[in-house]
Structure 1
């Protein structure tokens, strides 16, 4: 059932609108068994084989009639995959070209088998026009090798010699691409396996980037460029050198504009995300906000990429203290009709962004947009896979109580912070900034919320915080609001609270 459910989803989302699902002629008033099963799986009525068998035949999933029905449906669904449509914002930018090449080549093979050499040649040439423009070396070779057979069997020596010459040329490029891919996928596996693996293999990856550069310079194809570009970006992200990431992304964009890199293959959506995120981590907020605004022209509002891009945008605004812009970005996300389709974890992050913004803005209240009780019920309190998320919640709740002069409730958050430091952060050397800021919160409580005493006692921790860099992309989430900025806000709240207290005593 899992396999067929997946195919139903793909067919539902991807098949071109002018292609009928399941039946060429579908009787809506009296659909066939296959159509009934498809409709029920699509609508979520059937989620298991036993559910489906009981609904269709009143039996269980072992019923031979149901198994035959499911087999017929699977065959029809697999046939419909040929009509999947990737000409939208969700798919890879170059895949429609690749898909069209495959279609022409497939038709050419059928025509060749039927002895229709002239028609087969026309179909192959259409494929080659696309594959050469899009720089699909492997597909170009398939097309040229098919022409080699046709020219040989139709006795056209000049055409045959020309095809053989092109095959030799593209085989050289293909060998370079295969060598490049071997290196790229090995390093991608090593860097993606675990944090420990990334650290162990980072030095060898730097050397691999240089090898990929030389292969690109030698072969010049887009595939060679992409392997070099992607690994170079990721290496600098892991090193935490986001200034270089911005420069690398800008350099790639210039190469595309100059025609040195194929614009049909270069994914502007990935480029937009890379540039804005790198500016955020490099603290180049003005440039990042400019890139974020420009980038919205390249990303569809209906895609997950748009919401990921807007996360970078709102963080750039928050870090730049442009709270009105952050509010506008959040409103754009809230008004987007596709917001319900993003993941639960993404929705939780947007709750936090809005919570931090409302904490900072004087005329807003965190409780208007965020329920800490609901968050704690949804999230296991000490969840290692969401450490950054938990730290952000603990800090926000403490600060919110302090802002409202609810010092009694703020005190109840301190034990949780101390337990969290002991249980998780002490085991992670990459969490120094979180530890230092939670230590500053502890000092606030130790000093009985006296701003002067807290500033004096926390000075050395604050200085350490200022010189402690954020870890590279491999190790931590971005701070929603920089801790140094939050500390200044907290000192302001404590000062105001003390003024009120002194006035009350008088």
Structure 2
């Protein structure tokens, strides 16, 4: 059910005309597929057991229910291609990426059916957008198609050399981007698995960064630079060098700002790290400036918005603005999208709540009117933060 619910949520959030995309009802009646869609979207069905019992009075493993579920799943996947990227919330980068991916799928189908002229005409159009937005994987695939076309289908020595040279260049870029991403993923995975076992003085981040640093002169793509600077910031953070980390964050922001199309999320990542540095350095006025700059780039209720609110709450606590800290916590946890946060992120907010409860207990924070059932219970709290309880960091 989780896969279907995610698809339903995607279709619902993007305001697709679900009735048309899922298929018209027969004789004016709502089809069973549409009925299942709307009941999942409204939250009436949370599990497969509920849906299977409602429609067939059986278990989820029943063939009739599985067929119904698969029909809905297939229609929802088809509906993804009709997402309107011109609605609010889609950056230029988002629009370009989704459009290029859809059109590239069309190119592959056209080539498969022998319509090579149409396919190449569309591929050339995609190629220009992919070059501007540095979609390296698409550039590798399209240049491969074009060099094949101009070598066999429509022989042209000049164009063959041109696209062959570009293919070589983009393969190298793609490989470097993949290497940078791979090293960053390894670092994050190692951190998650060995959270409390890091050896003093050992820095995978620094090793990985030094491995990539010589490549920065040749490659300045968004995807490559982002991961290289993430590793550099992580290396400096591990050393506890917050001043240098803040400088590295500014360096990353400036490097990315030189690229015209970079999405706001890329800047937010480094603004958050910079804010952490200023909190550690007790440079709260600068921290407040960073918070305000980050807020301009965020959508309220998004994952990044919650991350900003969490850091802002920490800033308020450090500056002893306890009432402000409580207001931030209340606004965030009462937001409709709070329930969609992952378990680990939600645990952070449970810990913040415990801090605020302690401030209330010692008389540093007053709530008007006093909340009912607000008595802090340690056992209940520990049960609500299983991840942090294991690492004893809560």
Is this a same-fold pair by TM over 0.5? yes
Deviation at 1:382, TM superposition (A): 11
1:199 alignment partner, SS class: coil
The structure-2 alpha-carbon separation of the partners of 1:179 and 1:354, relative to structure 1 and needing over 3 Å to count, comes to closer
1:304 matched residue in structure 2: 303
The structure-2 alpha-carbon separation of the partners of 1:264 and 1:336, relative to structure 1 and needing over 3 Å to count, comes to closer
| Mapped partners of 2:97, 2:50: distance in 1 | 39
1:193 matched residue in structure 2: 193
Check whether the contact 2:264–2:297 (CA below 8 A) recurs between aligned residues: no
The structure-2 alpha-carbon separation of the partners of 1:151 and 1:342, relative to structure 1 and needing over 3 Å to count, comes to same
2:272 matched residue in structure 1: 273
Check whether the contact 1:276–1:292 (CA below 8 A) recurs between aligned residues: yes
Deviation at 1:213, TM superposition (A): 1.2
Check whether the contact 1:108–1:121 (CA below 8 A) recurs between aligned residues: yes
Matches within 5 A, 1:101-500: 101-152=100-151, 153-196=153-196, 198-199=198-199, 202-257=202-257, 259=258, 263-264=262-263, 267-322=266-321, 326=325, 329=328, 333=332, 338=337, 344-345=346-347, 347-349=349-351, 351-352=353-354, 354-355=356-357, 364=366, 368-369=370-371, 373-376=375-378, 378-380=380-382, 385-386=387-388, 476=393
Aligned length: 390
Check whether the contact 1:49–1:61 (CA below 8 A) recurs between aligned residues: yes
Partner deviation per Cα, 1:81-134 (whole Å, 9 max, x = no partner): 334567789889955433222112111222333443343223212322222122
RMSD between aligned residues? 3.8
The structure-2 alpha-carbon separation of the partners of 1:86 and 1:284, relative to structure 1 and needing over 3 Å to count, comes to farther
Partner deviation per Cα, 1:410-448 (whole Å, 9 max, x = no partner): xxxxxxxxxxxxxx9xxx9xx9xxxxxxxxxxxxxxxxx
| Mapped partners of 1:97, 1:172: distance in 2 | 23
| Mapped partners of 1:261, 1:245: distance in 2 | 25
The structure-2 alpha-carbon separation of the partners of 1:292 and 1:161, relative to structure 1 and needing over 3 Å to count, comes to same
Check whether the contact 1:41–1:47 (CA below 8 A) recurs between aligned residues: yes
1:46 alignment partner, SS class: coil
Give the TM-score, by structure 2 length: 0.82
| Mapped partners of 2:332, 2:209: distance in 1 | 37
Deviation at 1:194, TM superposition (A): 1.1
Give the TM-score, by structure 1 length: 0.65
The structure-2 alpha-carbon separation of the partners of 1:310 and 1:58, relative to structure 1 and needing over 3 Å to count, comes to closer
2:96 matched residue in structure 1: 97
| Mapped partners of 1:304, 1:137: distance in 2 | 27
| Mapped partners of 1:354, 1:60: distance in 2 | 46
Deviation at 1:292, TM superposition (A): 0.7
The structure-2 alpha-carbon separation of the partners of 1:136 and 1:197, relative to structure 1 and needing over 3 Å to count, comes to farther
The structure-2 alpha-carbon separation of the partners of 1:138 and 1:316, relative to structure 1 and needing over 3 Å to count, comes to same
| Mapped partners of 2:241, 2:92: distance in 1 | 28
Deviation at 1:288, TM superposition (A): 0.4
The structure-2 alpha-carbon separation of the partners of 1:307 and 1:357, relative to structure 1 and needing over 3 Å to count, comes to farther
| Mapped partners of 1:154, 1:305: distance in 2 | 49
| Mapped partners of 1:62, 1:266: distance in 2 | 41
| Mapped partners of 1:85, 1:376: distance in 2 | 48
Partner deviation per Cα, 1:114-164 (whole Å, 9 max, x = no partner): 443343223212322222122222211111111123323023332222111
1:219 alignment partner, SS class: coil
Check whether the contact 2:222–2:256 (CA below 8 A) recurs between aligned residues: no
The structure-2 alpha-carbon separation of the partners of 1:165 and 1:71, relative to structure 1 and needing over 3 Å to count, comes to same
Larger Rg: 1
Any unmatched runs of 5+ in structure 2?
none
1:455 matched residue in structure 2: none
Any unmatched runs of 5+ in structure 1?
388-423, 432-475, 478-506
| Mapped partners of 1:349, 1:274: distance in 2 | 20
2:77 matched residue in structure 1: 78
Check whether the contact 2:92–2:261 (CA below 8 A) recurs between aligned residues: no
Check whether the contact 1:191–1:202 (CA below 8 A) recurs between aligned residues: no
2:215 alignment partner, SS class: helix
| Mapped partners of 1:86, 1:369: distance in 2 | 43
Check whether the contact 1:276–1:288 (CA below 8 A) recurs between aligned residues: yes
Check whether the contact 2:278–2:284 (CA below 8 A) recurs between aligned residues: yes
1:298 alignment partner, SS class: coil
| Mapped partners of 1:74, 1:288: distance in 2 | 46
2:155 alignment partner, SS class: coil
Check whether the contact 1:249–1:271 (CA below 8 A) recurs between aligned residues: yes
